[in-house]
Structure 1
Amino acid sequence: MATRTVDLNADLGESFGVWQLGDDDAMLSIVTSANVACGFHAGDAATLARTCRLAAERGVQIGAQVSYRDLAGFGRRFIDMPPEDLTADVIYQIGALSALAAAAGSTVSYVKPHGALYNSVVSHRDQARAVIAAVHTVNPALPVLGLAGSVLFTEAEELGVRTVPEAFADRAYRPDGALVSRRERNAVLHDPDEIAERVISMVTRGRVDAVDGSTIPITVKSVCVHGDSPGAVQIATAVRGRLEAEGVALNAFS
């Protein structure tokens, strides 16, 4: 029987100036993929350059985490913008991070929407099409990380862009498979052992418990641990350790 494999990713490079968020150094010793901010929701040029350099040194693949232009809101506020403007913004962000990754001796290997944009492209067809158009324009071979069953994946299939289904280790799910809004109680999980057990269920059994107590199917090739969550390093360590204990190999999906 073939060894089961999964990717482990985290949102990194989100510090800005004197404001430090997360422990990128520690996380890059645990994850196999780094969703690196591109300066629109978080991250300044020096931070992104350092994050790319550390990722390259650790053999961690780099992904462009693209977002709305919303530093004040950390990219967690929906922006109803014209599709052509969103396409241009995404192209800009991929281009900027690609240059920094190249300077670090690496490349941008995939694209992942962030925050409100991630949630929007689950069902907002125009914005999903705009994001996929940007990726396809920059490099049709770049995979897109997102939620299985989303219109983002539908639009990607239309243009022949590869998709990678993602699950969230530390977020609660609704019965319909969508994430519970961060504005609601218990949307973010914090117990490392509980989270690790949820990930095992996702990866080995293809299911997860929803917030209402029901069990729902889930498709996952990459598991995300949010780098800005309290205790992120402990959570990521617990998840990786539990996966390895179950014989699951950790490898970047690209």
Structure 2
Amino acid sequence: MRQFRNMTYPYIAWISAMIVAPLLLILLYAFTTKGNDVTTIRFTLENFTKFFSDPIYTDVLKRSLVVAVITTIICILIGYPSAYIIARAEGKTKVMLLLLITIPMWINMLVRTYAWIGILQDDGIINTILGWFGMEPIKLLYTNFAVILGMVYNFVPFMILQIYTSLEKMDKSLLEAASDLGANKIESFIRVTLPLSLPGVISGITLVFLPSVSSFVIPKLLGGGQYVLIGNVIETQFLTSGNWNFGSAISLIMAIIIMLSMYITKKIDKNDPSRGGATL
């Protein structure tokens, strides 16, 4: 037992230095501001008051939440059918489909996002193809569409893999039992497959919504600085304005929102009746 405890000390030290200490610093900066003397600080709530009293920041927060919700919904609409097809495939076909989903994830997200700039720009691939048919070029880059497209492209694999895992672990004999009881394919899907796959859907929602609401690289590259989300505001406060106190306050607000969303999804997952088995 003592040897086991000794093995945990490096892990505890790493967690303390890399996670706990930065979080405590953010907490300290969020509730403090510089006093009249540069060397002194004072505790205050004005960083939070500034955020909620300024409609610019609250509008950015609302926009970020809306974009994250839209991205999550699109990922579900794309991810569930894709995961279902992969789960029903067999042999080499299944392996190939899984590779098509996972291989892009081996490439850095920044590189993948940069690739979309070449595709969506005015003289990019899409507008070039439209020109072959005599159509006028469409403004695609630096738009809401480009930002949401970039987020869906980068985050939809997480949704697909989570749903696929739930479908793959499902007891196939339940579908046979549903068929024996007279259920057709649609009824079997609604009453057996869908309920048993909901934990994967909820996990996918968590993995898509959380990075979407706090993303700053994708809006910066595909939005061209004209489409600002809350992640961009935090980045600006830390790296450009140098206002670490206000940036920490916004980060703390986002951390609370993220923890609340995680709590809600966990609560839904715990209360999901399908966890006790499907009802026919």
Choose between structure 1 and 2: higher helix proportion. Answer: 2
Same fold (TM over 0.5): no
TM-score, L = length of structure 2: 0.23
Q: Which has the larger radius of gyration?
A: 2
Larger RCO of the pair (alpha carbons < 8 Å, separation 6+): 2
Structure with the largest fraction of strand: 1
**TM-score, normalised with respect to structure 1:** 0.25
